[in-house]
Amino acid sequence: MPTTEPHEQFIEVAGAKIHLLKGGQGKPLVVLHSVDGNLGWRSYHRQLAQQFTVYAPTLPGFGLSQRPPWLETFPDLARFSLWLLQELDLPQVSLLGHFIGGWLAVEMAVMCPQILDRLILVDAAGIQPQQGEITDIFLHGQEGTRKLMYFDSQQVSEYQELFGRKPTLEEREIQAQNQENAIRYCWKPYMYDRSLPWLLPRLRVPTLIIWGREDQIAPLECGELYRQAIPGSRLEVIERCGHCPQLEKPEEFSRLVQEFSLKT
């Protein structure tokens, strides 16, 4: 049986070295991380790698990935990420993105819908709520934001492994770099694209939207707005779960993704 553990590599895109984890077998699934960067090969990656060839790139300017000097805006990031798929020789993929990774997946989809087999949005940024608001994570800082991210951190089986020790100096530098680039890409307007709701009806790809019922970062209203705007999309709400269902409820999360991928 093929291993669900990844191998690590670097891909050159536009002169920048991009860090990538790849593992599993089956159709390609590209997993796009959020503002905290690439947290490594987690249990949900392993579960998805039983059915997909999972690609988990680190976005430019995050972690070990370089940022080319011209890359300054979220549309730049979307165009760059489409180039990354080209360098990976992936003419058609499923895209799965969490928060800014979900926003990125949507921007890539409306720019180039023919690349998509399926689209999976997880507590995604990118769309402006009409009633509530997306929490300003930069105002709360890393520790404050982490407290808001989970309905119950004890449900996160990998919490201690991820956050249970004091970070090293190198890890703190990477965290600061990640935050700097998240601000670069996502500020003014904060965490949304005013034109996106008008572009989403273009999409005809099967779309699954997954949201934690108790998300205190991106309100469930955003998931409803995505569902209303993307034709034929489906919203699945995970109960007793916060902003990171892939970490807080990995089995339920992975089951939803796997069942969705089997549908024609």
The span from the CA of 230 to the CA of 211, in Å, is 16
Angle (nearest 5°) at CA 172 between 166 and 177: 155
Q: What is the pLDDT of residue 142?
A: 85
* CA 2 to chain centroid: 25
Q: What is the pLDDT of residue 91?
A: 87
Distances in whole angstroms, Cα of residue 257 to Cα of each of 17, 54, 95, 135, 254 = 30, 13, 11, 26, 5
Write down the pTM of the prediction. Answer: 0.96
Q: What is the pLDDT of residue 258?
A: 95
Q: What is the pLDDT of residue 264?
A: 55
The span from the CA of 15 to the CA of 13, in Å, is 5
- Asked if 135 and 148 touch (Cβ cutoff 8 Å), the reply is yes
Q: What is the pLDDT of residue 263?
A: 75
Residue 183: Cβ-neighbour burial (10 angstroms; 0-12, 13-18, 19+): middle
170 Cβ contact partners less than 8 Å away, ≥ 6 residues apart: none
246, 229, 234: which is closest to 209 by C-alpha?
234
Q: Low-confidence residues of the chain, pLDDT below 70?
A: 1-3, 264
100, 18, 31, 95: which is closest to 59 by C-alpha?
18
- Asked if 124 and 145 touch (Cβ cutoff 8 Å), the reply is no
Task: Report the 10 Å Cβ neighbour count for 208.
Answer: 21
- Structural domains of the chain ordered from first start: 7-262 (3.40.50.1820)
The span from the CA of 197 to the CA of 128, in Å, is 9
Residue 234: Cβ-neighbour burial (10 angstroms; 0-12, 13-18, 19+): middle
Helix, strand, coil percentages (3-state) for the chain, rounded to 5, are 40, 20, 40
Angle (nearest 5°) at CA 26 between 22 and 28: 55
Helices (H), 112-188: 137-149, 159-163, 169-186
Q: What is the pLDDT of residue 2?
A: 53
In sequence order, the β-bridge partners of residue 53 are: 24, 28
Q: What is the pLDDT of residue 143?
A: 87
